[in-house]
Structure 1
Amino acid sequence: MRLGLALLGSGAGAFRVKDSMSRLAHAVGIESHRGQVTFTEITTTSFANGTFRTEIGETRRAGVDADKIDRLREFVRGLRPGMSVEDAHAALDEIESARPLYGAVANMLAAAFACAGFAFLNKGGLVECLVVFFAALVGQATRRQMMHRHMNHFGVWMLCGALGTLIYTSFVTALNWFGWVDHNHQAGVISAILFLVPGFPLVTGILDLVRMDLLAGITRLSYVTVLLASTGIAVWAVSASLHWDVNPSVGPELSPVVLNLLRILASFIASFGFAMLFNSPLKVASAAAGIAAVTNTGRLLLVDHTAIVSQAAVGLAALFIGLLASLLSILWRYSRVTLSVPAVVIMIPGVPLYRALTAMSNGEVTSALAQVVQVVFVVCAIGVGLAVSRMITDRGWAFDQDTTRTRRIFTDVAAR
Structure 2
Amino acid sequence: MAVYKLFVLPGDGIGPEITAEVEKIATWLTREGIVQFEIEKGLVGGAAYDVHGQAISDADMERAEAADAVLLAAVGGPKWDGVPYELRPEAGLLRLRKDLQLFANLRPAICYPALADASSLKRELVDGLDLMIVRELTGGVYFGEPKQIIDLGNGQKRGIDTQVYDTYEIERIGRVAFELARKRRNKVTSSEKRNVMKSGVLWNEVITALHAREYPDVLLEHQLADSLGMQLVRRPKQFDVIVTDNLFGDMLSDVAAMLTGSLGMLPSASLGEKNARSETRKALYEPVHGSAPDIAGKGLANPIAMISSLGMALRYSFNLGEVADRIDRAISGVLEKGLRTADIKGDAQETISTIEMGDAILAELQASLR
TM-score under structure 2 normalisation? 0.28
Task: State the structure with more CA Rg.
Answer: 1
Structure 1 or 2: larger helix share?
1
TM-score under structure 1 normalisation? 0.25
Structure 1 or 2: larger strand share?
2
